[in-house]
Chain A
Amino acid sequence: MKSGSNLEKVFVNGHFAVTSELGPPKGNDVSVIKRKVDFLRGYVDAVNVTDNQTAIVRMSSIATSAIAVQMGIEPIMQMVTRDRNRIAMQSDLFGATALGIKNIICLTGDHHTFGNQVNAKNVHDLDSIQLINMVKTMRDEKTLMGGEEKIEGDIDMFIGGAANPFADPFEFRALRTAKKAAAGVDFIQTQCIYDMERFKEWMKMIRDLGVHEKIHIMAGITPLKSAGMARYMAKNVAGITIPDALIDRMAKAAKGSDEGIKICIEQIQEVKEIEGVHGVHIMAIEWEHMIGKITEMAGLLPRPKVE
């Protein structure tokens, strides 16, 4: 065991893992976290706590993750390189592990100009691959970055990363995931999958590189709420492709939200059959209360109890 986290144990025991997402409040209102945790508890193996997603200022991922631990749900702390240099990140890793956080996702983060602090000075001291490698060094070599200074204690983190099979250049996408595996990632969550054919093609490239045998790949699923949402995402979110057929299906449905859930269940069942996919990451953006229904309908309940 690298971290002893629940998520790691679920993978090690050969179960199909389920994770979801928890966006921290835009302030210090702990009741927001409690409400979301109550929606998710028992339905997922661990929950991603986002780190100022879309560069909007929110409660820190580390604090929210620590509160989640207290509320009895396992967090996956997201950490972006946008806002911190290597000194701050290593310091936060000491703090996070001391607070009982056992999973991390290493990301570059959305560009600060997308958020509400457009005139901020960005950092980008490291990129996500260098961050992955830094956490692995801290965990496995028990030293700080650079390899000289010993750490007092153990940084037992299960290390995650992200992959976007739908951004360009497509041929580089599997290679970049292979680089994350080489840098020390234990699992990968993908961007939301709507173009299933392209996802399958990417997974084939992953298998050809043998990456699926080294790390756990989790397929990213986001239920569509309406045809309007599908059209908006297809047009405005770089790196997301939504086939026209899917948008048409949403548009023709009697109730868009019901159809979105139905599509989501079908997608989960489809990715479960793909060789090398070891779990799903369900990103129900501000729709956390649907996670129970989705996981139940997809036959993912009860979640395994692992030791």
Chain B
Amino acid sequence: MIKAEQKPFEEILEYLAPYNKILLSGCGACVTVCHAGGEKDGALLASALRMARQKIGKPLEIIESTPARQCEPEFAQELADTVGQVQAVLSVSCGVGVQTLARNFPATQIFPGVNTLFMGETVAHGVWEERCQACGDCILEKTAGICPIARCAKQLLNGPCGGSSNGKCEIKRETDCAWQLIFDRSKALGQLHRLTEIIPAKQWGVQSRDSGPRRIVREDLKV
């Protein structure tokens, strides 16, 4: 799922300085799971904002709302009436949700309340790690189910660089070396021979992430 974390509080306060009535819109999906912008975390942020503005004598009225999934237009539309009553919206959804609101409410300023970080996995309570960069050309079948595009700092496709040491990456020494993980899992599966195959250069071109926004069209699902 998409992982995000709240932007620095001072930065959010600065965005909202010109306004006295806003909507704080959360999202019930990914950012709720990573505690960045669901109903509960949105409410905590709203309280902190109210107090900070009270303190400087410029009270801020905040309406709180948390659609189930802010990135779906039908859920975003539920906010239409509220958006009409406020001067701006602070969205604590991922960047997709912010853009859904921007598209649906073209006359209203929408501010991001979180920094969207990556697509990741919960590895422990309160710990999330990046797992996929949506390159559009999955090679997990060749790398024992561990992605070197997302997990190797150099995106190496043919084995570890010279900095792999004691299972860790030299760039961030607390991070597992993706190729050590790939090697260990391949060995355990009796699949080491697969690592002798040269993986060719990736096709970053027209089908992948370097050609502007990608699009999926399913004719069978269109109405």
A residues near B (Cβ < 8 Å) are: 82, 86, 108, 111, 113, 122, 124-130, 133-134, 145, 162, 164, 167-169, 171-172, 175-176, 178-179, 182-183, 191, 238-239
Contact = CB atoms under 8 A, between A and B. Distances in A.
A82 B162 contact: no
B163 interface: yes
Interface string B162-189: 1111110011010001011001100100
Contact of A168 (B154, B157, B165, B171): B165
B159 A168 contact: no
Given A182-B198, A183-B198, A239-B170, A168 B158 contact: no
B199 to A, nearest CB: 8
Interface in B189-207: 195-196, 198, 200-202, 204
The bracket for how many chain B residues form the interface is: 20 to 34
Contacts of B162: 162, 164, 167, 191, 238-239
12 contacts: A108-B161, A124-B154, A125-B201, A129-B157, A133-B198, A134-B201, A162-B162, A167-B161, A169-B179, A175-B196, A176-B160, A183-B198
Nearest to A190: B162
Given A113-B171, A129-B158, A239-B163, 19 more contacts: A108-B154, A111-B153, A124-B154, A124-B156, A125-B202, A125-B204, A133-B198, A167-B161, A168-B160, A168-B164, A168-B180, A171-B187, A172-B160, A172-B179, A182-B196, A238-B163, A238-B173, A239-B164, A239-B165
Question: Chain B interface mostly helix, strand, loop or mixed?
Answer: loop
A179 B161 contact: no
B3 to A, nearest CB: 21
Contacts, number: 94
